[in-house]
Structure 1
Amino acid sequence: MAVLVLSGVLALAAGGCVCVVWAARGGPRWVRAVAAVTLAAAELVSWMGRTSRNAGSRGGSDD
């Protein structure tokens, strides 16, 4: 079941990347919409990664 879910996520990510490239070359409106959603999701994941790394480094040191 996990393999099926991960395969679906991988297919969505690959399709999103294709739409981003296609939109950069002037694709149809729906392609530009999918590309915008893909880029927003990538920005969100990147922001969440930075937030979690910063939260882990806030512990401070007792030097």
Structure 2
Amino acid sequence: MLVLVLSVVVLLVIGGCVCVFWAARGDAPRWARGVAKVTLLGSELARSASRKSSSSQSGSGDD
């Protein structure tokens, strides 16, 4: 079951990356541009969450 869920997630990520590439070329339909925006928003959220967790870990070290 876990393999199935991870496979679906990987396929969604790959599809989002394809839509980002397609939209960057400029000839993508409206739905692909929407998927690309959602993918880029998700990557920004993941990046900001990663920054927050790494900054909290580096600031909480023992002396």
Q: TM-score w.r.t. structure 2 length? A: 0.91
RMSD: 1.0
> Partner of 1:15 in structure 2?
15
% same residue: 56
Structure 1 runs of 4+ aligned residues shifted over 6 Å read none
Q: Deviations over 1:37-59 (max 9, x none)?
A: 00000010011011101111111
SS in 2 for 1:38: helix
The number of residues matched between the two structures is: 62
Provide structure 2 residue ranges, at least 5 long, that are not aligned to the other structure. none
In the aligned structure 2, how far is the partner of 1:60 from the partner of 1:12?
37
Q: Structure 2: which amino acid aligns with 1:23? A: A
CA drift at 1:5: 0.7
> Partner of 1:28 in structure 2?
29
SS in 2 for 1:18: helix
Provide structure 1 residue ranges, at least 5 long, that are not aligned to the other structure. none
